[in-house]
């Protein structure tokens, strides 16, 4: 595999290989010297056309831990704000010899265009495209679930995961549904009808409109941010009503089975989809998700750029 564009590109074996490699690489992170020489002399470009905190820093750290040279390119402050196209930006990166381009773009399909256009020779990694996909987020979520719910025995077969919130605008939800299914987990999506995607019946998951009904039967719940920046209309009457109907507070969290964990891809809107006491509770694993994100992205770059196993 040369690119990672969609969670659907991964077979079960591919996904397990990435998660296993990430687990080995996580051990490197625990050493006092955190670097591996694997990608020495290679150049990774972080091409971010949309805002990001965790994903951008995580890819940068992951590439640096593998000794790659990293160039961070944010559209704001570059010639993109002077009107330069994706094509001309890509040709510039190619002329500078990028071995991998990590791209986040507001347009669904931009990473696919970059990978299939012939503009660049290197690997393309999708770091979130519009409302479409965010495969490395799904991988780090799977890693976190596997780590916590070890009785699943290596993969996630038999686990039941609820994904709650703004499914309509969420690339995280799409990639998670695909990857969790590939790994054998059951997924149930929960949202108000206005935030459920058109055609969701054809997705490989269940759909519910009642969070209280779903929580007692799941091993994990993933809360999603209401992505107001992607909304051009009113999708629910008020923030207060949304958080009362679909937000996770302590009373609701107590409906979860005792072993169940709470995930959130970040950034959180405390008080909206998740209350502060839930976000700060021991069942919430957001900080681990961020740490696991570095290991998973190291694994993806390591495998796509042909790292050698004995160097771990
Ligand atoms: C998500 C994204 O950008 O898709 N965040 C992330 O990458 N950790 C979700 C969001 O913005 O709400």
Per-domain boundaries in the chain: 7-134+290-311, 135-289
pLDDT at 154: 58
Q: Note down pLDDT in tens along the chain; length 312 residues.
A: 899 999 999 999 999 999 999 999 998 878 888 889 999 999 999 999 998 889 999 999 999 999 999 999 887 777 776 777 889 989 988 998 999 999 999 999 999 999 999 999 999 999 999 999 999 999 999 999 999 987 655 579 999 999 999 999 999 999 999 999 999 999 999 999 999 999 999 999 999 999 999 999 999 999 999 998 888 888 898 999 999 999 999 999 999 999 999 999 999 999 999 999 999 999 999 999 999 999 999 999 999 997 655 555
Are 7-134+290-311 and 135-289 equal in CATH topology? yes
| CB 67 within 8 Å of CB 35 | yes
Q: What whole-number distance in Å separates Cα of residue 64 and Cα of residue 44? A: 9
Q: How far is the CA of 287 from the centre of ligand 1 (A)?
A: 15
pTM of the model: 0.95
In DSSP terms, 262 is beta-bridged to 221, 284
State if residue 104 touches ligand 1 by the CB under 6 angstroms criterion.
Answer: no
Please state which CATH class domain 135-289 belongs to.
alpha beta
Q: Which of 3, 42, 104, 171 is catalytic?
A: 104
Q: Is 174 a catalytic residue?
A: no
Cα distances from 124 to residues 57, 117, 299, 306, in angstroms, run 17, 11, 15, 14
State if residue 171 touches ligand 1 by the CB under 6 angstroms criterion.
Answer: yes
Ligand 1 atom showing the smallest separation from residue 225 Cα: 12
Residues in the chain: 312
* Residue 226 DSSP label: -
- Three-class SS of residue 192? coil
pLDDT at 310: 52
| CB 248 within 8 Å of CB 273 | yes
Q: Is 55 a catalytic residue?
A: yes
**Angle CA 218–223–226, to nearest 5:** 145
Give domain 7-134+290-311's CATH number out of 3.40.50.1820, 3.40.50.1370, 3.40.190.120, 1.10.150.240: 3.40.50.1370
Total Cβ atoms within 10 A of residue 257: 12
Q: Which of 55, 89, 144, 182 is catalytic?
A: 55
In DSSP terms, 263 is beta-bridged to 222
| CB 99 within 8 Å of CB 43 | yes
């Amino acid at each position: 595999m040369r690119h990672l564009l969609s969670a659907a590109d991964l077979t079960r074996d591919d996904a397990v290989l990435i998660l296993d490699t990430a687990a080995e690489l996580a051990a490197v992170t625990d050493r006092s010297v955190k670097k591996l020489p694997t990608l020495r002399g290679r150049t990774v470009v972080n091409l971010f056309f949309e805002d990001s905190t965790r994903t951008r820093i995580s890819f940068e750290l992951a590439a640096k831990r593998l000794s790659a040279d990293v160039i961070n390119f944010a559209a704001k402050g570059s010639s993109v704000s002077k009107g330069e196209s994706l094509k001309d930006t890509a040709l510039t990166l190619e002329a500078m010899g990028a071995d991998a381009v990590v791209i986040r773009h507001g347009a669904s399909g931009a990473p696919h265009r970059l990978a299939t256009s012939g503009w660049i020779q290197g690997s393309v990694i999708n770091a979130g495209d519009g409302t479409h996909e965010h495969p490395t987020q799904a991988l780090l979520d799977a890693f976190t679930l596997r780590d916590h719910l070890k009785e699943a025995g290596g993969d996630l077969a038999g686990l039941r995961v609820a994904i709650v919130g703004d499914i309509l605008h969420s690339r995280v939800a799409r990639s998670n549904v695909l990857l969790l299914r590939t790994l054998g987990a059951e997924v149930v999506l929960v949202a108000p009808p206005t935030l459920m995607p058109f055609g969701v019946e054809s997705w490989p998951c269940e759909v519910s409109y009642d969070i209280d009904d779903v929580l007692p039967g799941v091993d994990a719940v993933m809360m999603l941010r209401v992505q107001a920046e992607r909304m051009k209309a009113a999708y629910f009457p008020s923030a207060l009503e949304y958080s009362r109907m679909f937000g996770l507070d302590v009373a609701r969290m107590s409906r979860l089975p005792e072993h169940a964990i709470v995930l959130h891809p970040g950034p959180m809107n405390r008080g909206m989809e998740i209350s502060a006491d839930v976000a700060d509770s021991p069942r919430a694993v957001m900080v681990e998700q961020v740490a696991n994100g570095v290991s998973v992205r190291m694994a993806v770059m390591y495998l796509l750029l042909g790292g050698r196993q004995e160097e771990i």
